[in-house]
Amino acid sequence: MDKMNNHHRALTILLGSVLTLAGCAQTPPDVQASLPLMGGVSAPDYAVLPENMSNALMNNQTVVATPSGQAFNVSESYFSALGIECRQLTGIKIKPVITSSVCLIDNTWVNIGGTENGEAMHLSQMHAEGEAQ
């Protein structure tokens, strides 16, 4: 019976080792991030939000508006992998649906990008398009 337990224990250790090594040999999945993971991040790298939007975010308002009057719901704060405070903005009564991520970098709220019906877009582009209409 001892031989059986030793054999079972050895088989378990061998199987565990093989599975561990097989897991380490796998290629990790590709990851996309809206903020670069290498190097420093600074506010001039992104579009700075208009003053009225920045003030609203600093005061934890749940709705902000662009200077052209387009309103956005503001999500709860979250922290990026780099420890930067961010929020998600979602357009109110805007078709097509627009979402954007904004982050507080160097004490300045900046737009790090978003989507319009799933396609990449920045609030600065949307703001410029809104003024042109």
Q: What's the rounded Cα separation, in Å, for the pair 59 and 74?
A: 12
pLDDT band of 109, cuts 50, 70, 90: very high
Which carries the bigger pLDDT value, residue 87 or residue 132?
A: 87
- Highest mean pLDDT, choosing among 5-14, 69-78, 123-132: 69-78
Beta bridge partners of 101: 88, 113
Name the pTM for this structure.
0.58
Rounded mean pLDDT of 54-61? 93
